[in-house]
């Protein structure tokens, strides 16, 4: 894994070892950032279920102002911190070791972009989406990676799915605030 572009371009990122972690593929990461390329500069970002932190690090590299990385796994937090240090982006970040429900119900932060990549087929995305919608700015976007067969809601907490990108067995659903 590498940072695609920006101030940390080309920096190699480590991944958490083990079968329960599956980093976002380079193809999916490139497509997601292509879709939001004009929204990243200056954005406040959340990388929920961050794993190695690669999505938030990519956003910081591309000019996001700040990113909160959340994962309850100690190894994921350690690897995320190592990757932030390797990319020279530690000052623009906060790494939180906490389960997603505790974070979403307790945090006072507001975000412009949220990356959500929970374990597949466990209902975590369905639980997290309405809570996450409450933490988003008016023009914010939630990008949720999931397996193609996972049924995600069309609407969650005032956000509606505006686009679903498909990459073989992986999909990314984009949610934005419902207008009107």
Summarised one tens digit per residue, pLDDT across range 13-40 is: 998 876 456 677 788 888 899 999 999 9
Residue 54 lies in a domain: yes
Contacts of 111 (CB under 8 A, 6+ apart): 43, 44, 45, 46, 68, 135, 136, 137, 140
Residue 6 lies in a domain: no
CA distance 107 to 48: 12
Query: Reduced to 3 states, what is the DSSP secondary structure of residue 76?
Result: helix
Range of the domain at 119: 26-177
| Nearest partner of 117 among 22, 45, 26, 18, judged by Cα | 22
CATH of the domain at 31: 3.40.50.150
How many C-beta atoms surround the C-beta of residue 46 within 10 A?
30
Residue 140 lies in a domain: yes
| 79: its two tokens | 């690897």
Q: Is residue 3 pLDDT above 70, yes or no?
A: yes
Residue 48 lies in a domain: yes
Question: Per the structure, how many domains does the chain have?
Answer: 1
Mean pLDDT for 57-66 is 97
Residue 14 lies in a domain: no
128-176 pLDDT tens trace = 999 999 999 999 999 999 988 888 999 999 999 999 989 888 899 999 9
Residue 155 lies in a domain: yes
83-136 pLDDT tens trace = 999 999 999 999 999 999 999 999 999 999 999 999 888 889 999 999 999 999
Residue 10 lies in a domain: no
Residue 11 lies in a domain: no
């Amino acid at each position: 894994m590498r940072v695609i572009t920006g101030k940390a371009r080309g920096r190699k990122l480590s991944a958490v070892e083990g079968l329960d972690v599956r980093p976002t593929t380079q193809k999916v990461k490139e497509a997601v950032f292509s879709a939001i390329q004009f929204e990243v500069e200056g954005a406040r970002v959340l990388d929920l279920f961050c794993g190695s932190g690669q999505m938030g690090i990519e956003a910081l590299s591309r000019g996001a102002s700040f990113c909160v990385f959340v994962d309850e796994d100690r190894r994921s937090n350690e690897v995320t911190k190592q990757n932030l240090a390797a990319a020279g982006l530690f000052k623009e970040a906060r790494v939180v070791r906490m389960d997603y429900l505790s974070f979403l119900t307790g945090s006072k932060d507001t975000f412009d972009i949220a990356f959500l990549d929970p374990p597949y087929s466990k209902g975590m995305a369905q639980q997290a989406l309405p809570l996450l919608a409450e933490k988003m700015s008016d023009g914010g976007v939630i990008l949720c990676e999931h397996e193609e067969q996972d049924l995600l809601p069309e609407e969650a907490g005032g956000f509606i799915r505006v686009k679903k990108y498909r990459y073989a067995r992986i999909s990314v659903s984009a949610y934005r605030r419902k207008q009107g």
